Amino acid sequence: MNIRTIITGLLLLTALICPALAAKELSGQEILDKSQKLNEADSRAASMEMKLIDKDGEVSKREVRFWSKGEDKRLIKFLSPADVKGVGFLILNADSDDEMMYLYLPAFKKIRRISGSAKSGSFMGSDFSYDEIGSTGYNDDYKAERLDDENGQFKLKLSRKDKSDAEYEQLIMWVSQEAFVPTRVEMYKEKKRSGKAYLELRKVMTAEKITKTGKYWMPFSITMEDVKKGHKTVLTMSNVKVDDDVPDDYFTQRYLQR
């Protein structure tokens, strides 16, 4: 074994150990922040197909086209089924106190302002809420605490911040150590029984087909399961474009009704 071999071996060992060491040192909040920052594209555009599967296994489909710019602008256009085709949904200043949501209804040729309370409502009958579609971050609403890693993934406990109006009190999240993408999120709501508060599991989100697109890792298949209803939605993305310079004009009432 010559000196060259030893140095090469040491370098390889360092390369292997350092990320693991670094990962071990990260706090829960740092992991959460990193998962958002690393995969925060300037803009995204994607076609989404949703398969709604009820407890009897019956499947119905929805199709939308989605655009986002930064973290605060989102536009969704409904493509199918036919009764909602042409409906548009625009969110400006997302996840802030100045959030504005607009719904365009082609049958009425009218744009309606939507109240914030509608955010937690079901998105097209799916298990995703309007708030969850296109939302990329959790750190505005939750503070994170790191738990013991599981299956080579970070495991975090996210507790809702005092001033947040997020729907769930607590999330348990698994984050890929390679891609820093949440692979599973369990969502808990606070319930009370006999005066005692407890957390009830309401929904589980699972991300699959995590692929690097441009500079960013992202899941191409997301399943959201409503544990109480036994209903789930599989969202599959295609025609994904990131940092493709989506024009600002898209996020206006002018484009919403086109």
Partner 1 sequence: MKRDKPILCLCLLLSLGLILSLAAPTLAAASINGEIKLDERAYADGSSNQISWNRAEFKLKVASELSGQAAGYAELKLRTADGPDVSSLADLASKSKVSAYSLELREAYIDIFGFPLSNLDIRAGKQRIAWGTADKLNPTDNLNPYDFTDFLDFGEKIPTNAMKLTGYFDNTTLTLASLPVFTPAAMPSTFDSSINGYINAYLPAGMTLVSSESQLTLPNATLGNSMYALKLARTIWGQDISISYFKGYDSVPNLSNLTLTAVSATQMASALTMTYPEIQVLGYDLAGSFNDIGYWLEVASFTPDQADQTVISPAGTTTTEVGQYTKYTVGWDYTFTYDIYVNQQWMHGFFDERGSTLSDFLITRIEKKVMDDDVLLALNWLAEYNNGVVGNMFGPKVSFYPADATEIELGGFNITGAAGSTLSTWANLDQVYLRFKYSF
- The residues of the shown chain that bind partner 1, judged by CB under 8 A, are 54-55, 60-61, 81-83, 85-86, 98-101, 108-110, 112-122, 125, 165, 229, 231, 252-254, 258
Which residue's CB is nearer to partner 1, number 101 or number 237? 101
Which residue's CB is nearer to partner 1, number 25 or number 56? 56
The closest alpha carbon to 255, from 119, 59, 65, 121, belongs to 65
Least distance between partner 1 and beta carbon 117 (Å): 4
Least distance between partner 1 and beta carbon 123 (Å): 11
Which residue's CB is nearer to partner 1, number 5 or number 115? 115
- Angle at the Cα of 15 (from 10 to 17), degrees rounded to 5? 90
Least distance between partner 1 and beta carbon 167 (Å): 10
Which residue's CB is nearer to partner 1, number 201 or number 210? 201
Which residue's CB is nearer to partner 1, number 165 or number 243? 165
Least distance between partner 1 and beta carbon 31 (Å): 30
Least distance between partner 1 and beta carbon 159 (Å): 21
The closest alpha carbon to 175, from 151, 140, 202, belongs to 151
Q: Contact, 79 vs 91, CB < 8 A?
A: no
Q: Contact, 67 vs 125, CB < 8 A?
A: no
- Would you call the peptide bond into 81 cis, given omega within 30 degrees of 0 as the criterion? yes
Alpha helices in the chain (DSSP H): 3-25, 28-38, 253-256
Rounded distance, CA 180 to CA 170, Å?
Answer: 20
